[in-house]
Amino acid sequence: MHTVERGETLVAIASERGVRLGEILRDNPGLEPDAIREGQSLLVCVPRPHRHRARAAKICDKRSPLHRHEVVPGEWLAEIASRYGVRKRDLLRLNADLRSNPDLLRTGQMIRVCPDIAPRERVKLRHTVQRGETFVSIAKRYDLNPRQLLRFQEGRLRNPDRLRLGQVLVVWKDGGIVSGFGSGERGTGLLTGGIQLPSSHHYTLKNPRLAWGTPLTIRLLQRATASYRRNNRGAPTVHIGDLSRRHGGRFPPHKSHRTGEDVDVGYIHSGRHAGLPRFIRATKDNLDVRRTWALVRSFLRTGHVRYIFMDYRVQRWLYEYAKRHGTPQGTLDELFQYPRGRGRAYGIIREDPGHDDHFHVRFQ
Ligand SMILES: [Zn+2]
């Protein structure tokens, strides 16, 4: 039995106990998800612990187990890709049936995905409108943007500005991580057969002794920086920070940088900060948004970027710049965590603390 504590929600209880919300509802017939109260007893059947990760699937190149995503109302393919930190083309590769009309998804359709961001249980809640609530305040309460909340209503809500007391809205919410996924160190955490990043007139190198990578990483890093400089005449050189140590392994203070696939890259600055061989905190005044975006795109164009860690503010500046200059909305949805809030990983370009003076590229 679980005794409900003050302020607890069913989603939180399910996530904490490692069960699906649907299971709690099944085990407690007649339970109103939005009307649980402090002190109430719930039957929660906790499964035996899944300590191990599920087996990585061959079709996912053994990098993760295969996950089946169930389409909820109002989702589109770029949005689904970004939930899992993959590209649309990855989904098309795994789902031949989507190729003819990737923009036509139906609710309940199953999509195969090799997730880079661990999948979460999705739970359907019903929210009853209370006195004083607005559509926007309800969206905020569930960490949704109003556009998303509106799509969940599948056209049944005519006027979001005129909610009635007691009216019921459908909310899809993320719960806990699907069992079998989640953290767990993959591989050996070492670098074998690594090579040292050579010097180049396209970049300066912080410390050559800490600039070891896999042959692929070194090649892609050289390709991306050269293509950035070729396409942006007169652009400052790029400042490259740490990769990995000679044989990989732990590399404090970094959390990763163990396997020769991670690279820290300075933002491109303008004015007196341009081309300085050190990391400088990006501000609206010193960041060369156009060239930084060009550099990020050169990395993405290698086709081997697994993710990029980037400060949320910098994401916003790049996102807005890219949007103004014709990058399609679908591509922005797919690439950026912004504007979905700082809370939850999304997309290829994601926030991670400590990335306000450089971004971190993880190759695959
Ligand atoms: Zn890093």
How far, in Å, from the CA of 253 to the mean position of ligand 1? 9
115 CB burial (10 A radius; 0-12, 13-18, 19+): buried
For residue 170, the cross-strand partners are 126
Tell how far the Cα of 2 is from the centroid of ligand 1, in angstroms. Answer: 41
d(CA 318, CA 86) in angstroms, rounded, equals 19
Give the model's pLDDT for residue 15: 64
User: How remote is the CA of residue 254 from the centroid of ligand 1, in Å?
Assistant: 6
What's the 256 CA to ligand 1 centre distance in angstroms? 7
The least confident of 50-54, 173-177, 343-347 is 50-54
Higher-pLDDT residue of 328 and 201 is 328
Our CA angle for 252, 255, 259, nearest 5°, is 90
- Give the residue from 77, 70, 69, 75 showing the smallest Cα distance to 100: 77
Question: Span 186-192, mean pLDDT?
Answer: 72
| Mean pLDDT confidence for 81-95 | 95
Residue 190 pLDDT class (50, 70, 90 cuts): confident
pLDDT per residue as tens digits for the range 139-168: 987 778 888 899 899 888 888 888 988 888
CA of 280 to the centre of ligand 1 (A): 15
pLDDT at 200: 84
Does the global pTM surpass 0.75?
no
Distance from Cα 350 to the centre of ligand 1, integer Å: 13
Q: How far is the CA of 262 from the centre of ligand 1 (A)?
A: 6
Convert the pLDDT of each residue in 203-216 to its tens digit.
999 998 999 998 88
For 297-350, what is each residue's pLDDT tens digit? 999 999 999 999 999 999 999 999 999 999 999 999 999 999 988 877 889 999
- Residue 114: what pLDDT? 95
> Percent of the chain beyond pLDDT 70?
93
CA of 351 from ligand 1 middle (Å) equals 12
Q: Which of 11-20, 66-75, 324-333 has the lowest mean pLDDT?
A: 11-20
Q: How far is the CA of 265 from the centre of ligand 1 (A)?
A: 8
Q: Tell me if the bond preceding 115 is cis, omega within 30° of 0.
A: no
| pLDDT(268) > 70 | yes
pLDDT at 228: 97
pLDDT at 17: 65
Which of the four pLDDT bands, split at 50, 70 and 90, describes residue 201? confident
What is the pLDDT, as a whole number, of residue 45? 73
pLDDT, residue 53, reads 59
How far does the centroid of ligand 1 lie from the alpha carbon of residue 174, in Å? 28
CA of 257 from ligand 1 middle (Å) equals: 7
Instruction: Kindly tell me if the per-residue pLDDT of 5 is higher than 50.
Output: yes
Contact 42, 97 (CB under 8 A): no
Higher pLDDT, 284 or 52: 284
Q: How confident is the model at residue 32 (pLDDT cuts 50, 70, 90)?
A: confident
Instruction: Summarize pLDDT for 96-144 with one digit per residue, the tens.
Output: 999 998 888 998 899 999 999 989 878 777 787 888 889 999 998 777 8
CA triple 362-184-91, angle to 5 deg: 55
Can you list the alpha helix ranges (DSSP code H) found in the chain? 10-17, 21-27, 77-83, 88-94, 135-141, 146-152, 215-231, 289-301, 312-324, 329-335
Share of the chain above pLDDT 90, in %: 50
Give residue 46's pLDDT.
63
pLDDT for position 51: 44
Q: What structural domains and CATH numbers belong to the chain?
A: 1-49 (3.10.350.10), 58-113 (3.10.350.10), 195-363 (3.30.1380.10)
